[in-house]
């Protein structure tokens, strides 16, 4: 099984939308190991990916009520997160797995997402904004992943083009710029698939 891990420089930057595009382009299945917080309809990232990709989504290992860091959401819900349940699921075909928040977000008080990624040993895509502050956030994230020996496919940007920031992150971080997903005014499965095809090379993710 081939798996691609999607992480990001922060929460709410577009990891799920990018994951949906990638899941669709690869004909993959999607997995969010820990979902902390859902919307008014009880929907989390998996439901968004199902809607925007039309691909199968696997049930999360943990679905927690409170919209905060998983380690704290689990404590509030009275749930103990067992890392044995966070093994990558076996599926036919490729798998796209999305972490919560950024790379140093605690899964538990003893386990950070970056450590879980290192344990999985599968290549990671870092999703980053293009706006002000992204050079610092991106380079910090790259350093944290590299220091743990996490293999990186590169950076996928989300937002308006900021050529110098994108090139600077790739050069100083020593990573590939995989492409940039523009903000789509009308976000549907169709517009997203078209935007991914126009701005990324799917072979970079295989
Ligand atoms: N390319 C895009 N075009 C239009 N809207 C987008 C795009 N990317 C993200 N958004 C919107 O921005 C918001 C945050 O995106 P998303 O849920 O993908 O972030 P996230 O990084 O996965 O957040 P979390 O840390 O909660 O998992 C959502 O409302 C989403 O619809
Ligand atoms: Mg998400």
Domains and CATH numbers, the chain: 3-205 (3.40.50.300)
Question: Does the C-beta of 45 come closer than 6 Å to ligand 1?
Answer: yes
Give residue 40's pLDDT.
Answer: 84
Report pLDDT digits (tens) over 58-113: 999 999 999 999 999 999 999 999 999 999 999 999 999 999 999 999 999 999 99
* Count of positions (residues) in the chain: 206
Give residue 76's pLDDT.
Answer: 97
Number of neighbours of residue 185 by Cβ within 10 angstroms: 6
Question: Does the C-beta of 187 come closer than 6 Å to ligand 1?
Answer: yes
C-beta separation of 21 from 195 below 8 A: yes
Give residue 42's pLDDT.
Answer: 84
Question: Which stretches of the chain score pLDDT less than 70?
Answer: 1
Give residue 41's pLDDT.
Answer: 85
Which atom belonging to ligand 1 lies closest to the Cα atom of 20?
A: 18
Residues at the binding site for ATP are: 12-17, 45, 98-101, 182-184
For residue 159, CA distances in Å to 13, 73, 131, 156 come to 9, 29, 7, 10
Which atom belonging to ligand 1 lies closest to the Cα atom of 184?
A: 3
Predicted structure pTM score: 0.98
For residues 129 and 158, give the distance between their C-alpha atoms in angstroms, rounded to a whole number.
Answer: 5
Q: Which of 14, 73, 191, 196 to mutate to test the pocket of ligand 1 (most atoms within 8 A of CB)?
A: 14
Closest ligand relative to 15 C-alpha: 1
Cα–ligand 2 centroid distance for 15 (angstroms): 5
Question: Does the C-beta of 15 come closer than 6 Å to ligand 1?
Answer: yes
Active site residues: 32
Question: Does the C-beta of 11 come closer than 6 Å to ligand 1?
Answer: yes
Alpha-helical (H) ranges within the chain are 15-26, 45-53, 70-77, 113-120, 134-147, 163-173, 189-199
Give residue 193's pLDDT.
Answer: 98
Which atom belonging to ligand 1 lies closest to the Cα atom of 127?
A: 21
């Amino acid at each position: 099984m081939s798996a691609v891990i999607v992480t990001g420089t922060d929460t709410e930057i577009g990891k799920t939308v990018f994951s949906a595009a990638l899941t669709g382009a690869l004909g993959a299945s999607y997995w969010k190991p820990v979902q902390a917080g859902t919307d008014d309809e009880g929907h989390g990232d998996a439901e968004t990916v199902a809607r925007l990709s039309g691909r199968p989504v696997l049930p999360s290992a943990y679905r927690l009520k409170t919209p905060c860091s998983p380690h704290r959401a689990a404590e509030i819900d009275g749930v103990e997160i067992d890392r044995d349940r966070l093994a990558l699921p076996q599926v036919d075909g490729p798998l796209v797995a999305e972490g919560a928040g950024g790379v140093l977000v605690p899964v538990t008080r003893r386990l950070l997402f970056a450590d879980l990624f290192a344990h999985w040993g599968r290549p990671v895509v870092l999703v980053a904004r293009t706006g002000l502050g992204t050079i610092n956030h991106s380079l910090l994230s790259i350093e944290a992943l590299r220091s743990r020996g996490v293999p990186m496919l590169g950076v996928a940007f989300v937002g308006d083009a900021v050529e110098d920031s994108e090139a600077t992150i790739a050069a100083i971080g020593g990573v590939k710029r995989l492409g940039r997903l523009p903000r789509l005014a009308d976000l549907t499965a169709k517009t997203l698939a078209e935007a991914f095809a126009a701005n990324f090379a799917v072979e970079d993710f295989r």
